[in-house]
Amino acid sequence: MITLQVITIRLTNIYPKKIYFNKRITLIKHLQPGILFILLALLNYNAICQISLRGTITNDAGELMPFATVYEDGTTNGTTSNAHGIYQLLLTPGRHQIVVQHVGYARQTKEIIVTEKESNQLDFKLQPETLVLKEVVVSANEQDQARVIIRNAIRKRKYYRDEVAAYTCEVYVKGLQRLDKKPSSLLGATITVDTGIVYLSESISKLKYLHPDQINETIISSKVSGNSNGFSYNQASEMMINLYENSYFVEGLSERPLISPIASNAFLYYDYKMAGTLVEDSLFIHKIRLIPKRKTDPVFSGYIYIIENSWRIHSVDVSLYRSNGIEFLDSLHVNQVFAPVGYNIWMPISQRFTFKFNAFGFEGSGHFTGIYKNYKVQPNYWFPTPQKTTTSKKSKSNNAAKPTNKKTAIKDADKDPLLTKKDFSNALVTVEEDANEKDSMYWASVRPIPLTRVEIKDYAIKDSIRIIKESKPYNDSIDHHRNKLKLGNLFFSHYTHFNSFDKRYLTFPNLRDGIQYNTVEGVVANMQFHWQQRDKIGMRYRISPAIRYGFSNHRLQARIEGAYRLNPKAREYIFGGFGRYVYQFNEQQPIGPLANSFFTLVHGKNYGRFYQKAYFTAGYQKELINGLTLKTRVAYENRQQMNNVTTYNFAGNQLSPNVIQNAEIGAATFPTHQALLLVLDLNMKFDQKYIDRPDRKITLPSKYPELSIYYKKGIPALGSDINYDLLRIGTKYNKRFGQLGESQISGFAGAFINSKKMYIQDFQHFNGNHVYVRKMNGENLFMLLNYYTYSTKSRFLELHYEHHFNEFIFNKIPLIRRLNLQAVGSLNYLSTPAAGQYIELGGGIEHIFKFLRLDYYSSFQNGHHQMSGLRAGLGF
């Protein structure tokens, strides 16, 4: 039976109706007579179940109505009209009530008898919504009807948030993004993307939810314009903005959670105005205008529709603007339409996000539309007898009153639950292997929103020229333009020579990194190249040769390193390298080459400390199980001290020698020696969530702290002169505090459990800073600490805490809040036997001109003030 159904579906997907009939007869001739009746029944059932109802939606002036919600009354079988006001709805033959609604227009219902003919047409002409005056009981303390309604909705917020124990549904998502304007280049990199539609994709998913926060989405079909092998990045689970939550955080949209208009504290952020009341099927639906108290708060503008007596959300039509703190977008418009799905529960049947953006010379717009159908819902509550409450002079019934016992479940729910925890995994989104293999007939039969002419043209053109774009002549012509050397490549970005057809890329250094100055080499030519072979996933392998020449010590250095990807889903790599090169004693490079060159040459401050290392290293990395990654490395090194060979600087200052002064051992000179090293680094992300795609695994942030265990062994074998064991345990954790901002905590503790023989390279180093520029990358940074003074071969504890207030403080100050500045506070702590108790306290402002951050720090050691200083850096 299952096999016959599969055959039926595939024939329907591949062949149009006229051809399909002939193919069906041909198939029947080869089957046994006993099966014919079953097969004919299945084929005929499949044929009559896919009848398309189409039509156009206009207003009374004849204007097309895009994105109107269309659904079959009493069901969640629905769709929306496309940008040209045309809709398509799949129905079974028979009598149907079709409902159309659009914000600002009266809901309209029409009856149609759907037949088996190829075309069923039903057009709608919507009239402006008629708002009536509806008397609502107000108290002596509450004189505004809108506030009374919102206050009632707030009282029921938690109930509606928790009323669903579990549900499943099917979701269709279409995403489209247009680029109307673009710069020719950005920071020296050529922009090759064309204007017009740059992203068009459709997907169909199965969505599962279990209260309170278990969710899983399986993408069963995916289509991306111009990429037959690509998988859509549409996510129905990312579109679930639930206004029954007090606030909702959208990653990448805003640094602050968006505050619901029916949040517990909503009256601190919103004013409300009664726009009127609609009457639909004996329901009184109040239309309320949302007015932000402050334009810079993360709040919505627009309208929310509330059903009287039940006080649940009927629909939402709201907007966010750049002044509300959204990132990279000029505006975002959100439209949600709800409908009953059983047990007096209303769920979204359509959602639409429309946006415009203007950033870094790019201008464009787009939208994502989600259509939800075939809900199966298990409620948290069961009401054998409706309860009543008095909220209006005319209507007193309330079938959704709050139960006294929230644990009372729907009949037989405990015996046969819709979903259990066993139905969920850490894969929040799973893309099926054959999701991108569905043909055009399949999409024509399941697509709820008709394609517009522009979208049809985009699919046709991009699919037809895809082979051309993948050809060598086309890629060579594009590369000929991109491979032209520009001035920006010399200073800001690296120059990359593209071979797009073979997916090979060679990157050259820029002058910023290629020309350096230090005391042990003088002027340095440092040329590091990257040869990369890529595939559709990303880097397949990388080879990075480098050469370095010091014009004062007349010494040539060279090395070659590389990495090879084995398994992208397990993040499995092998890597290694060999050569002779110059390195800082702290391998994390606490001071960058540009900053060190500047302060050495201009100010005569010799902050960098270097040594020469000839080495061979090899390593392996793999995610052993979900969230547990092991990285191991073995290395053999020959280490040699380097001395100053130049004293020249613009300031004429005497430069200090290239010797570290350490609080534990004094002058850290060392003889030439060999070192055999073994490193084991275990990283654990608890309850790691991820997106499981056929070609890769995309990990998502965890709500739990990340833990790392690091072990390093100096092995006294094969001529190695070192013998020690270092054990270090570290953690990092990000925590959001609603409108108060976000905290970032990191640190580690450890000790050398064996330190029989070791040199300054083997000490535990800390990322100090002596310059007024913050290091742009790296973790666990101190701002006023000496680079190597408190490096230790004993025990240590290091902690770092930063709290980003986002716009919580400055958006309360008139005029200042227009600048979108953000406050940040910092605390850095270090404890070693020599350092004692070292603390740095800092406060600063970030997002200055959108990218600059300024902090003022003070340091204290064992309770005594040491120094203060200003630090500048990037702070997006």
Mean per-residue pLDDT over the chain, rounded: 85
Question: pLDDT digits over 267-317, tens only?
Answer: 999 999 999 998 888 889 999 999 999 888 899 999 999 999 999 999 999
**Shared-domain flag, residues 334 and 378:** yes
What average pLDDT does the segment 681-700 reach? 93
**Residue-by-residue DSSP string for 315-358:** EEEEEEEGGGTBSS-SEEEEEEEEEEEETTEEEEEEEEEEEEEE
Structural domain contains residue 769: no
**Shared-domain flag, residues 102 and 172:** no
406 pLDDT more than 80: no
Query: Quick one: what percent of the chain has pLDDT higher than 90?
Result: 57
Query: Quick one: what percent of the chain has pLDDT higher than 70?
Result: 87
Split into its structural domains, the chain has a count of: 2
Q: Which of 79, 99, 126 is the last residue of a domain?
A: 126
Beta bridge mates, 427: 690
pLDDT of residue 236: 81
What average pLDDT does the segment 189-216 reach? 86
699 pLDDT more than 70: yes
**Shared-domain flag, residues 111 and 163:** no
Q: Which of 406-410, 490-494, 645-649, 869-873 has the lowest mean pLDDT?
A: 406-410
Highest mean pLDDT among 144-153, 231-240, 811-820, 843-852: 144-153
Do residues 177 and 366 make contact, with C-beta atoms less than 8 angstroms apart? yes
Structural domain contains residue 157: yes
Rounded-to-integer distance, Cα 176 and Cα 223, Å: 12
722 phi and psi, to 5 degrees?
Answer: -120, 155
Q: 812: which residues sit within 8 A by CB, 6+ positions away? A: 294
- Res. 318 pLDDT band, cuts 50 70 90: very high
Q: Which of 129-138, 514-523, 574-583, 706-715 has the lowest mean pLDDT?
A: 129-138
573 pLDDT more than 60: yes
Do residues 741 and 806 make contact, with C-beta atoms less than 8 angstroms apart? yes
What average pLDDT does the segment 342-350 reach? 91
Higher pLDDT pick, 154 / 387: 154
**Shared-domain flag, residues 116 and 150:** no
Rounded-to-integer distance, Cα 256 and Cα 246, Å: 13
pLDDT of residue 19: 32
**Shared-domain flag, residues 277 and 403:** yes
607 pLDDT more than 80: yes
CA distances from 859 to 290, 387, 768, 840 (A): 48, 64, 12, 4
pLDDT of residue 361: 80
Q: Which of 107-111, 135-139, 571-575, 793-797 has the lowest mean pLDDT?
A: 135-139
Structural domain contains residue 189: yes
Structural domain for 107, as ranges: 2-126
Beta bridge mates, 712: 679, 726
CATH number of the domain bearing residue 63 = 2.60.40.1120
Highest mean pLDDT among 230-244, 254-268, 394-408: 254-268
Rounded-to-integer distance, Cα 207 and Cα 690, Å: 16
Q: Which of 104-113, 224-233, 742-751 has the lowest mean pLDDT?
A: 224-233
pTM: 0.83
pLDDT of residue 50: 61
**Shared-domain flag, residues 104 and 167:** no
Question: pLDDT digits over 791-820, tens only?
Answer: 999 999 999 999 999 888 887 777 777 777
Structural domain contains residue 526: no
- Res. 49 pLDDT band, cuts 50 70 90: low
Structural domain contains residue 800: no
CA distances from 267 to 244, 737, 771 (A): 15, 20, 47
Tell me the two tokens of residue 143.
Answer: 């004189």
**Shared-domain flag, residues 16 and 159:** no
Question: pLDDT digits over 28-41, tens only?
Answer: 334 444 443 333 34
- Res. 466 pLDDT band, cuts 50 70 90: confident
560 phi and psi, to 5 degrees?
Answer: -145, 130
**Shared-domain flag, residues 122 and 158:** no
Structural domain contains residue 418: yes
Structural domain contains residue 680: no
**Shared-domain flag, residues 156 and 110:** no
708 phi and psi, to 5 degrees?
Answer: -130, 140
Q: CB burial class (10 A; 0-12, 13-18, 19+) of residue 74? A: exposed
Rounded-to-integer distance, Cα 471 and Cα 628, Å: 41
680 pLDDT more than 60: yes
pLDDT of residue 135: 62
6 pLDDT more than 60: no
CA distances from 683 to 479, 631, 686, 706, 801 (A): 40, 8, 10, 8, 21
507 pLDDT more than 50: yes
Question: pLDDT digits over 771-781, tens only?
Answer: 998 876 677 99
Question: pLDDT digits over 525-548, tens only?
Answer: 999 999 999 988 888 999 999 999
Q: 63: which residues sit within 8 A by CB, 6+ positions away? A: none
Structural domain contains residue 194: yes
Question: pLDDT digits over 626-658, tens only?
Answer: 999 999 999 999 999 999 999 999 988 888 899
Number of residues assigned to the chain: 876
- Res. 328 pLDDT band, cuts 50 70 90: confident
What average pLDDT does the segment 716-737 reach? 96
**Shared-domain flag, residues 351 and 310:** yes
pLDDT of residue 523: 96
Q: Which of 438, 461, 483 is the last residue of a domain?
A: 438
Considering only CA atoms, which of 573, 574, 581 is closest in space to residue 640? 581
pLDDT of residue 636: 98
Tell me the two tokens of residue 174.
Answer: 């279409």
Q: Which of 422, 438, 454 is the last residue of a domain?
A: 438
First to last CA, the chain: 59
Place of tokens 């703190």: 325
**Shared-domain flag, residues 336 and 384:** yes
What average pLDDT does the segment 248-252 reach? 81
Between CA 503 and CA 513, with CA 509 as vertex, the angle to 5 degrees is 145
- Res. 756 pLDDT band, cuts 50 70 90: very high
Between CA 588 and CA 596, with CA 592 as vertex, the angle to 5 degrees is 130
311: which DSSP letter?
Answer: -
What average pLDDT does the segment 143-170 reach? 93
Q: Which of 168-177, 474-483, 524-533 has the lowest mean pLDDT?
A: 474-483
Higher pLDDT pick, 246 / 820: 246
Considering only CA atoms, which of 623, 794, 632, 613 is closest in space to residue 713? 632
Burial 473-502 (b: 16+ CB within 10 A, else e): eebeebbeeeeeeeebbbeebbbbebebee
Higher pLDDT pick, 464 / 127: 127
**Shared-domain flag, residues 31 and 73:** yes
pLDDT of residue 821: 87
